[in-house]
Amino acid sequence: MSKEVILQAENLSRYFGGVKAVDGVSFSLRRNEVLGVIGPNGSGKTTLANLLTGFVKPSKGKVIFEGQDITGLPPYKVADRGIARSFQMVKPFYQLPAFKNLNVALLSPRVRRLAGGRYGDRDAVAKDLLEEVGFERDSWVISHQAASLPHGYLKRLELAKCMALQPEVIVLDELFSGLSLAEVASLVPVIEKLVHQGKTLVMIEHRLKELFRIADRVLVLNFGQKIAEGEPAQVMEDPQVKGAYLGSEAEE
Amino acid sequence: MAQRKERIDRGIKVRSDDVFVLTSWREMLYLAAPRVVPVVALFVLGLVAGPYWERVLISTCMFALLAISWDLLNSAGMVSLGQALFFGVGAYIAGTLNHYLGLPPGLTIPIATVGGGVLCTLALLPVLRLRGIYFAMVTLILPMMIERVIEATKIFGGTEGISGLTTLGNPHLEFWLAAVVVFVALFGFRRMIGSDYGLLLKGINDNDRAVMSAGMNIYQYKAQALFMASSVGAFAGAFMTHAYQFVGMPVFALDYSMIPIASVAVGGMGTLAGPMLGSFILVPMSELLRGLGGLRVVIYAVILVVFTVGLPEGIFHYLSRKYNQFERWVGVER
């Protein structure tokens, strides 16, 4: 594995008043790698996703994407360069039918550029993408108003929205949360296929078992700091990680 | 022969979702009627109305434009409590150009439309980042602020305003122009909302963060929507200035902000046609109640409450649903 580094965080920090949400986190991500980000609640995982995608500006540190400094760029420019993200709190475009939700991304300058200035039949592309993430084609669900979709479909929709942008890197913020075991099991192959297509993924997860099936490497956050990084099995043996998750034993 | 009921729109919807494949005059009539009937109705009303009601219809059209402008802004996620800003800025641009430079209405109205749109957009540009109630508060305050500035500095005639402005000439011409503009705005913007551009605006309204993460500069789209909406409002202001031959501080009054919102509440949000329908109910009704003197506002308020409680979705949504459910008898072969 000697592929080029595609995304790099250098000493990334974000302070909200006195709270160090993310504190001096550095890592580098190679192309086509899957990085899992885990940690207890409030350890700064979502803030890290916001920092990488421009939704939150860092107090300190840098984000480097494909060799260029993208620190402080507004979210739409970050997305335009090829970092897509999903949101933990799923909020679809309620008024639109499910497949039209993807048209927003399909209308973006990035997709038009990649398609050589032409959009093509967006509705058809959107429906194909929805089928890929597990919507039944030709069912009513695909053209039903997004507001009335059940949670499982909304999560899939969220993933499809990322894919519609044809990104290089996808940051998935707790994609599996709130899904049943069966639903997660049906999404895992979709993600494996994305990896197979050469996408790079950052997956923030609480569902460790499923994550460890997919992730090449895991980064553990606690109180905003990186406490471990490495292969899943090896990381979970780390005493600090055990402490963060299970609570450390009282010192004697 | 046995018969059963069938919805008229079924055949149309089954054949296509977007592109209408029409097979009969009946279907064409079914689709055209809701568009043609209001247009014909308004022009006929204008022909039969006397001079007084023709004036009322003109001002109704202007309130309809303000309501359409409100709904357009709202569909891009911007709630305005200050339609009077757009109206007043347009009115003063037209009034001052006419009074000080002697420009005819044929020039002042277009200049006020575009210039008013530009000025209002620039004024609100810094607060485009604000959402919901925060944006609304700023729009509420701006017209009040301008009103006080005019009062304090006595510019543009101060509290007296500017009177004796040029009319458009013929009152019938005024009505026809107003009616044409209202329908052009209505059908034009409805078409726009139905297009991909409208899709993005709706997306911004639903979840602006998701639109940003799709690689779209939402401020650009919001500014464009703001320009369109404020231009429509500025046109209404400029038009009324010439219709009344007067411009003064009342153009920034709360009426011009509130009646459009009431029209949207009565007519139905998000359709553009609903707000227009709402204005055509509320404004003439307010004229009819004029004879009641002090009780006018009370009765007006009661009617408003009845409408909003009885039909919270708005009259237009209700009517269009009923129209879509319209059934006819068809023969069934056994």
User: What pLDDT score does B98 carry?
Assistant: 95
pLDDT digit string, tens, across residues A109-165: 999 888 876 767 888 889 999 999 988 877 888 888 898 898 889 999 999 999 999
Residue B16 in this model has a pLDDT that exceeds 60: no
A92–B202: do the CB atoms touch at under 8 Å? no
User: What pLDDT score does B14 carry?
Assistant: 57
Q: What is the CATH number of the domain that holds A30?
A: 3.40.50.300
Residues 6+ apart with CB under 8 A from B218: A76, B204, B208, B211, B212
ipTM score here?
A: 0.86
Quick one: average pLDDT of B30-34? 85
Residue A46: its chain B contacts at CB < 8 A?
Answer: none
Residue B200: its chain A contacts at CB < 8 A?
Answer: 104, 107
| B200 Cβ under 8 Å from any chain A Cβ | yes
Query: B195 vs A99, A102, A238, B14, CA distance in Å?
Result: 15, 15, 55, 21
Q: By CB neighbour count within 10 A (0-12 exposed, 13-18 middle, 19+ buried), where does B111 fall? A: middle
The kind and range of the H/E element at B162 are strand B162-163
Cα B30 from Cα B14, distance rounded (Å): 15
What does DSSP say about strands A200-204 and A169-173: parallel, antiparallel, or unpaired?
Answer: parallel
Cross-strand partners of A200: A169
Is residue A252 a part of any domain in this protein? no
Cross-strand partners of A221: A226
Cα B215 from Cα A109, distance rounded (Å): 7
User: What pLDDT score does B238 carry?
Assistant: 96
pLDDT digit string, tens, across residues B34-73: 899 999 999 999 999 999 999 999 999 999 999 999 999 9
Query: In chain A, which residues have pLDDT < 50?
Result: 1, 251-252
Partner residue opposite A76 with nearest CB, options B205, B217, B270:
B217
Partner residue opposite A96 with nearest CB, options B199, B212, B214:
B199
B214–A96: do the CB atoms touch at under 8 Å? no
Percent of chain B with pLDDT over 70: 95
Name the token pair of B333. 């072969």
Helix count (H) and strand count (E) of chain A? Answer: 10, 10
B199–A95: do the CB atoms touch at under 8 Å? no
Restricting to A residues 141-200, those with a Cβ less than 8 Å away from any Cβ of B are: 143, 161, 164-165
| B29 Cβ under 8 Å from any chain A Cβ | no
Mind telling me how many Å the CA of B74 is from chain A's nearest CA?
13
pLDDT digit string, tens, across residues B151-187: 999 889 888 899 989 998 888 999 999 999 999 999 9
Residue B202: its chain A contacts at CB < 8 A?
Answer: 93, 95-96
Quick one: average pLDDT of B192-217? 92
B205–A110: do the CB atoms touch at under 8 Å? no
Is residue A227 a part of any domain in this protein? yes
Rg of chain A on CA atoms, in Å: 18
User: What pLDDT score does B284 carry?
Assistant: 92
Partner residue opposite B214 with nearest CB, options A55, A95, A165:
A165
Q: Which residue carries 């009641």 as its tokens?
A: B292
DSSP B159: G
A93–B218: do the CB atoms touch at under 8 Å? no
pLDDT digit string, tens, across residues B307-319: 889 998 899 999 9
| B19 Cβ under 8 Å from any chain A Cβ | no
Residue type, B270: G
B215–A80: do the CB atoms touch at under 8 Å? yes
Give the structural domain span for A163: 5-246
Cα B55 from Cα B68, distance rounded (Å): 20
User: What pLDDT score does A50 carry?
Assistant: 93
B203–A87: do the CB atoms touch at under 8 Å? no
Torsion of CA B108, B114, B116, B119, to 10 degrees: -130
Residue B200 in this model has a pLDDT that exceeds 80: yes
Is residue A240 a part of any domain in this protein? yes
Q: Kindly indicate the confidence band of residue B11, based on its pLDDT and cuts at 50, 70 and 90.
A: low
User: What pLDDT score does A25 carry?
Assistant: 93
Residue B121 in this model has a pLDDT that exceeds 70: yes
Contact status, residue B69 vs residue B233, Cβ threshold 8 Å: yes
Residue B300 in this model has a pLDDT that exceeds 50: yes
Residue B18 in this model has a pLDDT that exceeds 60: no
Residue B271: its chain A contacts at CB < 8 A?
Answer: none
Name the token pair of A22. 């993310």
Mind telling me how many Å the CA of A105 is from chain B's nearest CA?
5
Residue A108: its chain B contacts at CB < 8 A?
Answer: 214-216
Is residue A187 a part of any domain in this protein? yes
* A-B C-beta contacts closer than 8 Å: 79
Closest among A7, A49, A35, A32 to A211, alpha carbons compared: A35
pLDDT digit string, tens, across residues B145-157: 999 999 999 889 8
Per the structure, how many domains does chain A have? 1
